[in-house]
Amino acid sequence: MPARGGFRERAFHAWLRRSLRPGRGVAVGIGDDAAVLRLADKNLLATTDSLVEGVHFAAGTAPRLAGGKAAGRVLSDMAAMAATPRFGLLSLVVPPSWTARAVRRFVEEFEERLRRHGASLVGGDAACAPGRFVAAAALLGEPGARRPLLRSGARPGDLILATGSFGGSILGRHLRFAPRVREAIALARRLPITAAIDVSDGLALDLHRICAASRVGAVLEAGAIPVSRAARILARRTGRSPLSHALGDGEDHELLLAMRPSGRSRLERLHAGVGVPVSIIGRFGGRGVRIRDERGRERPLPASGWEHGSRGAR
Amino acid sequence: MPARGGFRERAFHAWLRRSLRPGRGVAVGIGDDAAVLRLADKNLLATTDSLVEGVHFAAGTAPRLAGGKAAGRVLSDMAAMAATPRFGLLSLVVPPSWTARAVRRFVEEFEERLRRHGASLVGGDAACAPGRFVAAAALLGEPGARRPLLRSGARPGDLILATGSFGGSILGRHLRFAPRVREAIALARRLPITAAIDVSDGLALDLHRICAASRVGAVLEAGAIPVSRAARILARRTGRSPLSHALGDGEDHELLLAMRPSGRSRLERLHAGVGVPVSIIGRFGGRGVRIRDERGRERPLPASGWEHGSRGAR
């Protein structure tokens, strides 16, 4: 017998069916064995990601913040493909420590975030089990530009672009980041973007990934990397440099992009129209992934990030 | 530092990228921010479901069996829509008790089952966390017949059909059931099927669900319900009747369908061509959900199933 206010699967499913508004293209939403959906065309993008209590958010975090993060993570994956989010699915594992109300708050915020980006929640599943709260999300989307942006399209000579700023996300932004969905589509439609990735595991590691997928090297310009205010605050506590936080912290959920150099002047004219600052932070090409400091000295950039001395030297 | 043989996310992702063969319609599979897919047309079905260690399978179960069950559950959802499975996504939460090899076995079997039904694994995510192993699957499909079979299409006078037999799944079948994907498509293409559901939570409860969705009553014929051999074996241990196990146990993953009565003679001619026995077990219509015993006496059928005496009286 669950405690008063305890989570019960059937009551949750009934609430879901009652409270979800059917979105565009949703013939049958939650409540049947599967959702029945209609796309604008035959091309589809799909991603999945899980959010675990105690790993991706601390126990005791407001459920709304956790739900927003679960949505933000898959929305950011769609952004990295320059895709338009359309349909979300959510599978929950709910421990006794989560009340029915907490679960509803989580789902409401998940759904609200999807809706804000034009997508609908069309499938939900919940199981009760002791342990940690787990939310596994899947998100389907449609191409938002001529073609999806892959990690593998960067070519030697392409410029390295980054949206927003980096580092110190643990101070709060990891729960409140804005997935760059509209910005990615605007950039992909107007500029010769050749590749993209969303920065979830750190600027350095995700640059390594785009380089590996594209079989190309890169040089980052240390002085051009947009270091966030949170990175500077955190650096005062840790004794590390703000730059090392920007390179290694992760969970920024900004975009790292490759652009043909011919796009440079258009990017400069476009800036105000994108909705977020876009910085040129280096160039693809050469062998390996390097970083150049403001005095022009180059050194290898480890995938784990970069620190003067110990970590930088590995 | 993980133990030797311990599961590590990056090694797992690298293994996934190496070992998955791209399937039909998969332009980009695992390895980018999202999969890039192409459908035969613009209509899409989508479902999600989670499998939790200690809830849906006992700790110590062979990972292959658990992986097969995770796939079978979402494949069975697709079957209930008469859909053709196409693309699967899998999110895992892996505790330290699971070795890297156990996780690979789980995923290999999940993927093998999908492939056997014409679908590809196109997205994977894994997080490490103490506690229980969790696998959340999403499956996308395309209509396999003129239109998807909904729960809401049953009309008064329709016959109640069931594939296979029911009860006692806990003796092993809950890990080894065959999702009725091809059978559902064959039935939906050849017969005037009006509604369907897959029996995951028990024949009685899932009949209640189809009745509620269709706003129609039903009468089950107790003597026509195909009771499995496992239900008879289990009944000898529990002292309950084999029929009560057939009605209440669940995890049969057989199909419960509604068919216009005009399809009866075609069903009889078709039987050998479906690949599984199909029984007529009652008729939709009237008020409430009832069961009629072999002496013609009707009584209400509780959603929880039915037992002579205590549980049946409810």
B-chain residue closest to A53, CA distance: B129
| Integer Cα distance of B158 and B194 in angstroms | 8
Confidence of residue B309 (pLDDT cuts 50, 70, 90): very low
| Integer Cα distance of A64 and B296 in angstroms | 55
| Integer Cα distance of A132 and B95 in angstroms | 11
Q: How many domains in chain A? A: 2
Residue A27 counted as domain residue: yes
Task: Specify the higher pLDDT residue, A268 or B283.
Answer: B283
Q: Are residues A187 and A167 in the same domain?
A: yes
Torsion angle of alpha carbons A192, A195, A197, A199, nearest 10°? -60
Residue B2 counted as domain residue: no
Q: CB distance from A59 to chain B under 8 Å?
A: no
Residue A2 counted as domain residue: no
Question: Could you tell me if the ipTM is greater than 0.90?
Answer: yes
CB contact under 8 A, B127 and A56: yes
Residue B3 counted as domain residue: no
The pair of three-digit structure tokens given for residue B115, joined into one six-digit string: 């492939």
Residue A131 counted as domain residue: yes
With vertex at residue A99, the alpha carbon angle to CA A94 and CA A100, rounded to the nearest 5 degrees, is 85
**By C-alpha distance, which of B88, B104, B121 is closest to B22?**
B121
pLDDT of residue B312: 30
Is the C-alpha dihedral spanning B8, B14, B19, B24 positive or negative? Answer: positive
**By C-alpha distance, which of A132, A84, A33 is closest to B48?**
A33
pLDDT of residue B73: 97
Q: CB distance from B52 to chain A under 8 Å?
A: yes
Q: Are residues B116 and B232 in the same domain?
A: no
User: Tokens 């640059």 map to which residue?
Assistant: A207
CB contact under 8 A, A136 and B141: no
Last residue of a domain, one of B112, B127, B143: B143
Q: Is A282 helix (H, G, I), strand (E, B) or coil?
A: strand
Residue A255 counted as domain residue: yes
- Taking only the tens place, the pLDDT of each residue in B97-116 is 999 999 999 999 999 999 99
Q: CB distance from B36 to chain A under 8 Å?
A: yes
User: HSE (CB half, 13 Å, CA atoms) of B266?
Assistant: 13
Q: Are residues B302 and B201 in the same domain?
A: yes
Under 8 Å CB-to-CB from B146, ≥6 apart: which residues? B188, B189
Q: CB distance from A121 to chain B under 8 Å?
A: no
**Residue span of the structural domain in which B23 resides:** 9-143
Check: CB of residue A179 under 8 Å from CB of residue A255: no
pLDDT of residue A74: 98
Q: Are residues B156 and B205 in the same domain?
A: yes
Which residues from A are below 8 Å from B81, CB to CB? 32-34, 36
Per-residue pLDDT of chain A (314 residues; tens, 9 = 90+): 444 578 898 899 889 988 888 789 999 999 899 999 999 999 999 999 999 999 999 999 999 999 999 999 999 999 999 999 999 999 999 999 999 999 999 999 999 999 999 999 999 999 999 999 999 999 999 999 989 999 999 999 999 999 999 999 999 999 999 999 999 999 999 999 999 999 999 999 999 999 999 999 999 999 999 999 999 999 999 999 999 999 999 999 999 999 999 999 999 988 777 889 999 999 999 999 999 999 999 999 999 875 433 333 22
The pair of three-digit structure tokens given for residue A79, joined into one six-digit string: 């952004």
What is the enclosing helix (H) or strand (E) of B213? helix B203-214
With a CB-CB cutoff of 8 Å, which residues 167-196 of chain B face chain A?
Answer: 196
CB contact under 8 A, B46 and A140: yes
Residue A1 counted as domain residue: no
A164 φ/ψ angles, rounded to the nearest 5 degrees: 60, -145
Confidence of residue B38 (pLDDT cuts 50, 70, 90): very high
Last residue of a domain, one of B116, B143, B170: B143
Q: Are residues A161 and A281 in the same domain?
A: yes
CB contact under 8 A, B136 and A141: no
Last residue of a domain, one of A82, A111, A143: A143
Q: Are residues A100 and A129 in the same domain?
A: yes
